[in-house]
Amino acid sequence: MIKIILNGNTQTCEPGKKVGEILADNNALAARVNGQIVDLAYELKQDSEVNPIYFDSQEGRSIFWHSTSHLMAHAVRLLFPDVKLAIGPAIDEGFYYDFDLTHSLTEKDLEKIEAKMRELVKKNLPIVHKFIAKPELEKSYHQAGEKYKLEILSEVPDEKISTYEQDGFFDLCLGPHLSNTGIIKAFKLLSVAGAYWKGDEHNPMLQRIYGVSFPSQEQLDEYITKLEDAKRRDHRKLGPQLGLFLFSEDLGPGLMLWTPKGALMRRIIEDYWIDTHFKAGYEITYTPHIARGHLWETSGHFSYYKENMFTMTIEKEEYALKPMNCPGHILIYKSAVRSYRELPIRYAELGTVYRNERSGVMHGALRVRGFTQDDAHIFCTPDQIEDEIYSTLQLAIKIMSDFGFKDFHIDLSLRDPNHKEQYVGTDEQWDMGEQALIKALDRSGLKYTRREGEATFYAPKIDIKLLDSLGREWQCPTIQFDFNLPSRFNLYYMGADGRHHTPFMIHRAILGALERFLGILIEHYAGAFPVWLNPVQATVLTITEAETDYAEQVIAQLKTQNIRVNKDFRNEKISYKIGEAERDKIPYILIIGKREKEQNKVALRKRRQGDLGAANLETVIEQIKQDIFERR
């Protein structure tokens, strides 16, 4: 007999008993036995601690989705016998499988594949874990012409290969997997896309099908509702609809036109940004959009970034549009001999940069070729770096929360300790830099994830990802050291010892790029911006022409209070005008009819709250100002 601890309770059983029988729980997808994740068919051989794994954990979902991916591959194999299978993992939200198939898959095919998958689910096929001798497996893959599987196999050192099989369809896989196809109650194939074998563009292009699955139809419906909600928030749709920005084929891809309302919002953001940065001890600069090639040679951009730069020839000399603002700031730093007494120097700039992004990667306002970074570069002494990182973090968090983002995921990217030769800079610099980042994070009390080997070649960094109202992540603030440019440009400062010292340089952006940040704000607020950000804060609607004079007085009063106000005096029914104002997501709608005019009031209607009845204008102005003050 062996001892089993299940959910903290101890019991005994015969050796060889399956985990699934011990759990006796229909909702358990797999189990963790002594810390190792195993199938329900796993046989217990020794004293073990057993914990069930459900769909509510990341591990559980991953197993569920991986099994669905196999199910899909099984269906595709049945429908298209000549298919060659590549890989089919679970991903953050769902799964995919890559196929090499002569037939081009379409949406219609997805329906067919789903139907075939449903058949396989109904059959309740057992999913069986088997170990097959490598030569045997190689032989059968060779016969089937499964070249991708053979390639994977050649990279596996094991002699006995772990595979999973369901009704004759098998796939190499470490597992674990669900015990039966019948568990996969609800799934949807979402899209078909091209993907290179192993993600390398020199390799053949495969066809990838993305999908998602759940233990119940309700969960799938909920997921689909969420997708639809995300679609309703799509900044590419709302942006032009709300008059914020647009793209024009005549202008060129990845180049954004800020239309008046969007430009006004940008102005509000910029004013806030500049004011906040002045208060935080930054100095504002402007640097030109083009610079001679020589500068980009010194900075190194021409050797490692030139293919992403727009270049031109002026008087026989090569110039380039700036892809980054740092060289300009460095030239300002270098324009005088700097003393340790004047450090830290913090140069901030809303700098518009241009990058020649590959044609397939542009995406609405989020990925463009011309964009304005809220960039800054801090030059400081070694003993200032921790404080500088700390205050930059505080500033980033303050700004993000002012824009309504309160939840973050923070990544700390460090160098790969086993491949130190890949990085520029000295060990001393790296140790100081990494320690400063860690200390500043700890001092801030922020939770973060360490990512070894994720640093850029020139320095470690902190990336902050915002979570929006749908729980989606957006990478915005980034704080990175630079151990490369100060030495390339021979930067120094005069130390207390009368000698030259190389300053530490910190790059940082908080909003990222204004274009992208506007897109994120639209998605986060679904276009219904807080009052302080909304380009139109209030609108005045009249019921009949008789109230026009009084309504104009109301508007004049709002304007003296610096409230951004619109009007709609058109000869239309009030409900028509309200509908339009609501669709424009204007936060305050002031309605004026005969009664309001007589009583010297306004009828207030607030976004999402509806009709609030008559109120004194002064009260309404106070409310608006309070909303602005509290950034609601």
Partner RNA sequence: GCCCAUGUAGCUCAGUCGGCAGAGCACUUCCUUGGUAAGGAAGAGGUCGUCGGUUCGAUUCCGACCGUGGGCUCCA
Site string for RNA, 598-617 (x = CB under 7 A): -----x-x--x-xx-xx---
Q: Per 3-state DSSP, what percentage of the chain is helix, strand, and coil (rounded to 5)?
A: 40, 30, 30
Does position 433 interact with RNA (CB under 7 A)? The reply is no
User: Considering only residues 390, 458, 474, 525, which one is a binding residue for RNA as defined by CB under 7 A?
Assistant: 458
Q: How far is the CB of 285 from RNA (least distance, A)?
A: 20
**For 254, left (φ over 0), alpha (ψ -120 to 50), or beta?**
left
Interface with RNA by CB under 7 A: which range of 112-120, 246-254, 375-383, 551-559?
Answer: 246-254
User: Considering only residues 298, 574, 625, 631, which one is a binding residue for RNA as defined by CB under 7 A?
Assistant: 574
User: Considering only residues 52, 323, 351, 587, which one is a binding residue for RNA as defined by CB under 7 A?
Assistant: 323
Tokens 């009249």 sit on residue: 542
Q: 131: which 2 tokens?
A: 């170990």
Out of 507, 516, 564, 577, the active site residue is 507
Catalytic residue list contains 583: no
Task: Give phi and psi for 275, each to the nearest 5.
Answer: -60, -45
Q: How far is the CB of 341 from RNA (least distance, A)?
A: 30
Catalytic residue list contains 377: yes
Site string for RNA, 91-110 (x = CB under 7 A): -------------xxx----
3-state SS class at 538? strand
- Are the C-beta atoms of 130 and 172 separated by less than 8 Å? no
Does position 493 interact with RNA (CB under 7 A)? The reply is no
| Residues 534, 127: Cα–Cα separation, whole Å | 55
Q: How far is CA 347 from the centre of its chain?
A: 27
Write out the binding residues for RNA, residues 8-47 only, by CB under 7 A.
none
Radius of gyration of the chain (CA): 30
User: Considering only residues 59, 318, 552, 572, which one is a binding residue for RNA as defined by CB under 7 A?
Assistant: 572
Kindly tell me which of 176 and 512 has the beta carbon lying closer to RNA: 512
How would DSSP label each residue in 333-385? HHTSPEEGGG--EEEEEEEEEE----GGG-BTTTB-SEEEEEEEEEEE-GGGH
**For 597, left (φ over 0), alpha (ψ -120 to 50), or beta?**
alpha
Q: How far is the CB of 250 from RNA (least distance, A)?
A: 9
| Residues 485, 85: Cα–Cα separation, whole Å | 46
Kindly tell me which of 64 and 588 has the beta carbon lying closer to RNA: 588
Catalytic residue list contains 461: yes
Q: How far is CA 289 from the centre of its chain?
A: 28
**For 445, left (φ over 0), alpha (ψ -120 to 50), or beta?**
left
Kindly tell me which of 104 and 154 has the beta carbon lying closer to RNA: 104
User: Considering only residues 594, 618, 622, 629, which one is a binding residue for RNA as defined by CB under 7 A?
Assistant: 594
Q: How far is the CB of 510 from RNA (least distance, A)?
A: 16
Write out the binding residues for RNA, residues 252-271 only, by CB under 7 A.
252-254
Positions of E strands within 521-600: 538-542, 565-568, 588-592
Kindly tell me which of 18 and 607 has the beta carbon lying closer to RNA: 607
Alpha-carbon dihedral sign for residues 64, 102, 169, 45 = negative
Kindly tell me which of 115 and 193 has the beta carbon lying closer to RNA: 193
| Residues 88, 58: Cα–Cα separation, whole Å | 17
Residue 298 is which amino acid? T
Kindly tell me which of 9 and 102 has the beta carbon lying closer to RNA: 102
Does position 453 interact with RNA (CB under 7 A)? The reply is no
Kindly tell me which of 75 and 602 has the beta carbon lying closer to RNA: 602
Write the CB contacts of 327 (distance below 8 Å, at least 6 apart in sequence).
291, 295, 296, 298, 299, 301, 485, 489
3-state SS class at 7? coil
- Are the C-beta atoms of 542 and 388 separated by less than 8 Å? no
Kindly tell me which of 98 and 627 has the beta carbon lying closer to RNA: 98
User: Considering only residues 9, 102, 154, 359, which one is a binding residue for RNA as defined by CB under 7 A?
Assistant: 359
3-state SS class at 18? strand
Site string for RNA, 503-542 (x = CB under 7 A): ----------------------------------------
Does position 457 interact with RNA (CB under 7 A)? The reply is yes
Instruction: Determine the length of the chain.
Output: 632
Kindly tell me which of 200 and 315 has the beta carbon lying closer to RNA: 200
User: Considering only residues 362, 446, 494, 615, which one is a binding residue for RNA as defined by CB under 7 A?
Assistant: 362
Catalytic residue list contains 375: yes
User: Considering only residues 113, 189, 265, 324, which one is a binding residue for RNA as defined by CB under 7 A?
Assistant: 324
Out of 70, 116, 261, 355, the active site residue is 355
The residue count for binding RNA (CB under 7 A) is 71
User: Considering only residues 422, 573, 616, 630, which one is a binding residue for RNA as defined by CB under 7 A?
Assistant: 573
Q: How far is the CB of 51 from RNA (least distance, A)?
A: 32
Write out the binding residues for RNA, residues 156-215 only, by CB under 7 A.
191-196, 199-201, 205, 207-208, 210
- Are the C-beta atoms of 12 and 1 separated by less than 8 Å? yes
Catalytic residue list contains 373: yes
Does position 425 interact with RNA (CB under 7 A)? The reply is no
- Are the C-beta atoms of 461 and 422 separated by less than 8 Å? no
Write the CB contacts of 602 (distance below 8 Å, at least 6 apart in sequence).
540, 554, 590, 591, 592, 596, 614, 615, 616, 617, 620
Write the CB contacts of 58 (distance below 8 Å, at least 6 apart in sequence).
none
Out of 39, 98, 109, 375, the active site residue is 375
User: Considering only residues 154, 313, 418, 571, which one is a binding residue for RNA as defined by CB under 7 A?
Assistant: 571
Kindly tell me which of 247 and 258 has the beta carbon lying closer to RNA: 247
As a whole number of angstroms, the longest Cα–Cα distance in the chain is: 94
Out of 166, 207, 373, 480, the active site residue is 373
Q: How far is the CB of 424 from RNA (least distance, A)?
A: 7
Site string for RNA, 303-322 (x = CB under 7 A): -xx--x--------------
Interface with RNA by CB under 7 A: which range of 18-26, 32-40, 464-472, 589-597?
Answer: 589-597
Kindly tell me which of 1 and 361 has the beta carbon lying closer to RNA: 361
Catalytic residue list contains 409: no
**For 335, left (φ over 0), alpha (ψ -120 to 50), or beta?**
alpha
Catalytic residue numbers, as ranges = 326, 355, 373, 375, 377, 461, 507
